[in-house]
Amino acid sequence: MLTLLPRSLCSWNYRACEGRTTIAMLDFDFFSERGRIEFGGTAYRIVKHGLASGRWSLLDRAETIAAARKPRAFFREFEIRLGASTLMLKTESAFTRAYRFSSDTGWSGTLRPVHPFTRRAIVDCTPSTPPLAQLFCFWLAALTWRRSAKSSAAHA
């Protein structure tokens, strides 16, 4: 199980912990939907393919490690390819920020905020789900949370 903690009160950047040990750092670019994940001594870049596209890639230097796409623009769901595996990341319902992971073999885990008024989150997946996949999925889910928060602030 991973615990994701914002690095400061108003930050969208996170540190990922297993127990009390920080295993990764996740960052969002301030003005774009790009970012990075530092995990296992490697800094992976996340790039978005076009301003209006629903596609992102997780890169190690120039090599694509994982690719994500939104199959439908107005739904909070992603299809993630990591090697030969495909993961689906979908919200549990229209009224929650929680997500469910599923793979070719069935249910793989959940991703959810600790409570409704926080950015802190828990990722709980089967052991067969690679940690880098869990981190990339969390980054995508947090991106939707960030979009929603920016949209709410713009309409306030």
Q: What is the pLDDT of residue 106?
A: 82
pTM of this structure: 0.92
Residue 33: count other Cβ atoms within 10 Å of its Cβ: 16
Label residue 103 left, alpha or beta by phi (over 0 means left) and psi (-120 to 50 means alpha).
Answer: beta
Confidence of residue 139 (pLDDT cuts 50, 70, 90): very high
What is the distance between the alpha carbons of residues 100 and 134, in angstroms, rounded to a whole number?
11
Summarised one tens digit per residue, pLDDT across range 30-86 is: 889 999 999 999 999 999 998 888 999 999 999 999 999 998 877 889 999 988 889
Q: What is the pLDDT of residue 104?
A: 78
What is the distance between the alpha carbons of residues 23 and 150, in angstroms, rounded to a whole number?
28
Q: What is the pLDDT of residue 83?
A: 85
What is the distance between the alpha carbons of residues 62 and 10, in angstroms, rounded to a whole number?
32
